[in-house]
């Protein structure tokens, strides 16, 4: 690599280096997808990233930050999916409870006893209630 002594106004120096066409084609292909305004910006980011990767053996903070960031993104997506499913289930359960309340004459004392019994049963089966266990419980 050859350093040219010409300085830019932004404090950068010009360097001359050789790279094969295959690598340069990757730069042309991906620099805009990475929101880089110039090829130079993309190459600088790539060098910083790779240098950080190489240094990760010496600096334990670099790689874990990437892993943590990725895991947070995965967790956020998973939470959103779970929230949507819980909402859907809550709507269906609300509909079922209203149908049950409209078609059965259940007094408040019996309802409270049923609630307590259900809490105990759910604890006993560790939250994995199924129709089969409910039929066994009622039998």
Q: In this model, does residue 53 exceed pLDDT 80?
A: no
Distance CA 89, CA 81 (A): 12
User: Are the beta carbons of 56 and 62 closer than 8 angstroms?
Assistant: yes
**Residues facing residue 16 across a β-bridge:** 2
Question: pLDDT tens-digit profile of 54-89?
Answer: 877 676 666 677 778 888 899 999 999 999 999 999
Residue 138, pLDDT score: 78
Residue 136, pLDDT score: 83
User: Given pLDDT bands bounded at 50, 70 and 90, which one contains residue 45?
Assistant: very high
Average pLDDT of the segment spanning 112-136: 86
Residue 6, pLDDT score: 57
**Residues facing residue 4 across a β-bridge:** none
The rounded Cα 71 to chain-centroid distance in angstroms is 6
DSSP codes, the chain: -EEEEEEPTTS-EEEE----HHHHHHHHHHTTTTT-SSHHHHHHHHHHHHHHHHHTTT-TTHHHHHHHHHHHHHHHHHHHHHHHHHHHHHHHHHHHHHHHHHHS---HHHHHHHHHHHHHHHHHTTT---HHHHHHHH-
Count Cβ atoms below 10 Å from residue 42 Cβ, excluding itself: 20
């Amino acid at each position: 690599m050859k350093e040219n002594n010409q300085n830019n106004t932004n404090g950068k120096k010009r360097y001359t280096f050789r790279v094969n066409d295959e690598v340069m084609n990757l730069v042309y292909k991906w620099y805009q997808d990475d929101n880089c305004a110039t090829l130079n910006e993309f190459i600088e980011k790539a060098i910083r990233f790779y240098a950080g990767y190489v240094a990760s053996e010496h600096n334990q903070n670099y790689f874990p930050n990437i892993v943590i960031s990725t895991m947070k993104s995965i967790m956020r997506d998973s939470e959103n999916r779970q929230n949507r499913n819980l909402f859907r289930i809550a709507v269906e359960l609300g509909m079922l409870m209203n149908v049950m309340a409209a078609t059965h004459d259940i007094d408040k004392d019996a309802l409270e006893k049923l609630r307590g019994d259900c809490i105990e049963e759910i604890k006993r089966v560790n939250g994995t209630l199924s129709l089969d266990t409910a039929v066994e419980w009622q039998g």
